Structure 1
């Protein structure tokens, strides 16, 4: 899956946790992208089995989508914490950089970061 697809899944998860339900317009606003871009992405995520779209327009993560979104968001949270608390960058920079790093970091490196933070 491409980075943009992972960003969409993570955003749906965050918005569902915050608001209870999510529509395409919510995702477009959160990511500052156009509604047609979200529509295209949601079609791909639906076809790949990561989301369903209800008749009322609500986006719902499938079990597979939820698992993928949870994994991405976990990486985001741990990397943000590591950058802010261990490396010492500002919370804003940690958040921005984590958004980029979470998609390319190896499983081995991520596991070591989690291990390191668990010891603290």
Structure 2
């Protein structure tokens, strides 16, 4: 089953916020993604039902193994594609903005070839 781009963005945001803040709440996600709290609450309910997250007793959002796998995949794609664009001369801000769009649509084969090329040339 292919997960939607918006879900990938939510899961990646949870991973990034967890890494930065240690704890993630719905309001943190809403602020980070510039979404409304009700929109985030609806998404989190769906993610909980689909097994991508759990919520602890204090309301903290935790990625399950299934959710973490998707979040890490998106994060890796985001970072590597941005590095590739910067290696081509794109400024950092634009590279990260564009990589956020590309990461969802690029094939696994193309992504792996970009990653291999960057590794071979010690670009990251």
Is the shorter-chain TM-score for this pair beyond 0.5, marking a shared fold?
yes
CA deviation after TM superposition for structure 1 residue 18, in Å: 0.7
CA deviation after TM superposition for structure 1 residue 55, in Å: 2.3
Residue 55 of structure 1 aligns to a residue whose secondary structure is coil
Q: Which runs of 4+ in 1 moved over 3 A?
A: none
- 1:76 is matched with 78
Task: Kindly report the root-mean-square deviation, in angstroms, between the aligned alpha carbons of the 2 structures.
Answer: 0.7
Paired residues, what number?
A: 119
CA deviation after TM superposition for structure 1 residue 47, in Å: 1.2
CA deviation after TM superposition for structure 1 residue 46, in Å: 1.0
Separation in structure 2 between the aligned mates of residue 45 and residue 97 of structure 1, nearest angstrom:
26
Structure 2 unmatched ranges of 5 or more: none
CA deviation after TM superposition for structure 1 residue 63, in Å: 0.9
Structure 1 unmatched ranges of 5 or more: none
Q: TM-score, normalised by structure 1?
A: 0.96
Query: Residue by residue, what CA displacement relative to the aligned partner does 1:21-53 show, whole Å, maximum 9, x if unpaired?
Result: 100000000000100110111111111111001
